[in-house]
Structure 1
């Protein structure tokens, strides 16, 4: 086909990808993360390390004269991060007080309630007659669940809470401060945790769906073989072989946070930001929110059907 004929037959609809990209870049993206774990496991530090910004401080840690929190608190902070023209509105939800009591019965209830409340708020806006063109999305897209690096087994509370959380949000477990374990201890601990997750039928993200192509299936399988991510976070720079890198010193030497041989921080960051960010958002809408929405609308329908019968009595 000559250039002249090609020019005559060219329609131009292939520019739709550029149109979509332009609109999305102008609007920006929203990503909401909740971090769950005991005080002192480095939740704030890890979040700041992942997004290379000082997003949250160590409010969750106790000062020596601060009274012990009796209940789990919910604290949300929002930031806008721009990278190469892409704007990300990042909402980080912390849960100080979780798991810090002698009796932790029900300490997960405020967390579950908060996640469901965000679904409920989104549904109310969806059902409004004059709804906004773009509904502000506060639904939680990812829950980073921090596991204490004991090297032994999951605590009963970990099993209970991850099971409950997995029903309403995408749960990604991480072994906090994994440099407190040797590599052999870390690997044994990871295997033990995976076995416990399977035994207790805890369904973690990422999920396999019929829509996944072969490449996505393989990528997700690789991720599942890594989970739980054994991580180390640090906002400080240390010198290794004459180079300044993010890391920290421990009893065995210096840990380079960004070295895959030292910890799995890079795997976690790539997973959250480079390969699964959009899928986390879509899965929240298509699986967790849709299940909540269907249940709520069914309840509204049943309630409406019962009211006329009750009024006739």
Structure 2
């Protein structure tokens, strides 16, 4: 009798705050999500093609060298394209920023400055909107959440300029290194190359995403460790379908056979796509705001405070 009374009290005392997750989900779905990616690397590494492959959409004009006699498309200016893609009722506004191939010139001194400036300019624009007295309810976020850094598949080691650019980028944005056109390496060559790159990054103290924080639970820590053991992702991109066992799959044909982009034994494209879209998309956005933007914001506000204090000191 007492147990029945307790159950009745529990049933009648239901408050309903557990529905807050559905309320938040409804608001977020209505507003949509924003994800900004910048691609960095030498000309001809298939940057545009890989982006289109990851998001299964023709987002960037990838008129690269599809045939052997066609010239490689070269990006000469920083170009941003925006698309809204939808999946199961979730709308994602995707901004893709394509950059000029760095390191293509004879004199490459400061070739990374334009890219770094663009990333910082997005932080600066967001800060200005944030500090405006009559600011928008929802500030449009153009801050770069992820930098896909494309590495030439030489099979040996990184160029010194690659190390410099990657280190400078890692100070202002989440950097995810990628070995482009990985089908040009054998599996053994690929593994040696990946180990060499990891060793060089560790030696040069390059801190790459993902980062571990006190907020991470054991499952997240284990997942991040798995990702770090894979990085740099060795990938192949393709917007074309090839027939394998009578089924069309995205892939590339070469003189050795057919590369199935989504076959994990052929390349690590699936790992990269899952990482960017299924497991770490929200964390990339939050890390940008909480680490990179916060560091920029603090530095700017301290500089403003120092600048405003100087005239007062001078007049005194």
Which TM-score bucket, shorter chain as reference? over 0.9
Aligned length: 308
CA–CA separation in structure 2 for the residues paired with 1:116 and 1:309: 30
Q: Determine helix, strand or coil for the equivalent of 2:36.
A: strand
RMSD in angstroms over aligned alpha carbons?
A: 1.7
Are the structure 2 counterparts of residues 60 and 78 from structure 1 closer, same or farther at C-alpha, using a change threshold of 3 Å? Answer: farther
Pairing partner for 1:94 from 94, 98, 103: 98
Local SS of the residue matching 2:43: coil
Give 1:121's aligned residue: 125
Could you tell me how far 1:147 is from its partner in structure 2? Answer: 0.1
Distance 1:87 1:65 in 2: 33
Q: Give 5+ residue unaligned stretches, structure 2.
A: none
Q: 2:240 matched to 1:233?
A: no
Counterpart for residue 266 of structure 1: 270
Q: Is the 8 A contact 1:73 1:97 kept in 2?
A: no
Structure 1 residues 112-151: aligned runs within 5 Å: 112-151=116-155
Give the C-alpha shift of residue 308 in structure 1. 1.3
| Aligned-pair CA distance for 1:248 | 0.5
Q: 2:85 aligns with which of 62, 77, 81?
A: 81
Shift of 1:60: 7.7
C-alpha contact 1:236 1:246 (8 A) present in aligned 2: yes
Q: CA deviation at 1:59?
A: 6.3
Q: Quote the Cα distance in structure 1 between the aligned partners of 2:71 and 2:247.
A: 37
Separation (CA, whole Å) in 2 of partners of 1:131 and 1:60: 42
1:182-201 aligned at under 5 Å gives the runs 182-201=186-205
CA drift of 1:310 comes to 2.4
Contact 2:63 2:72 (8 Å CA) reproduced: no
Which of residues 178, 191, 204 in structure 1 aligns to 2:208? 204
Range with greater deviation from structure 2 (164-173 or 72-81): 72-81
Q: How big is the shift at 1:309? A: 2.0
Report whether the alignment pairs 1:311 with 2:315.
Answer: yes
- SS of 1:259's partner is coil
Instruction: Please report how far the alpha carbon of residue 7 of structure 1 lies from its aligned counterpart in structure 2 after TM superposition.
Output: 2.5
- Do structure 1's residue 176 and structure 2's residue 150 form an aligned pair? no
What is residue 287 of structure 2 aligned with on the other side?
283
2:301 aligned partner: 297
Instruction: Kindly provide the CA deviation profile for residues 51-83 of structure 1, in whole angstroms up to 9, marking residues without a partner as x.
Output: 00000013688x8599x88xx621000000010
* TM-score (norm. length: structure 1): 0.95
Return the offset for 1:86: 0.3
1:257 aligns with 2:246: no
TM-score by length of 2: 0.94
| Contact 1:143 1:170 (C-alpha < 8 Å) held by counterparts | yes
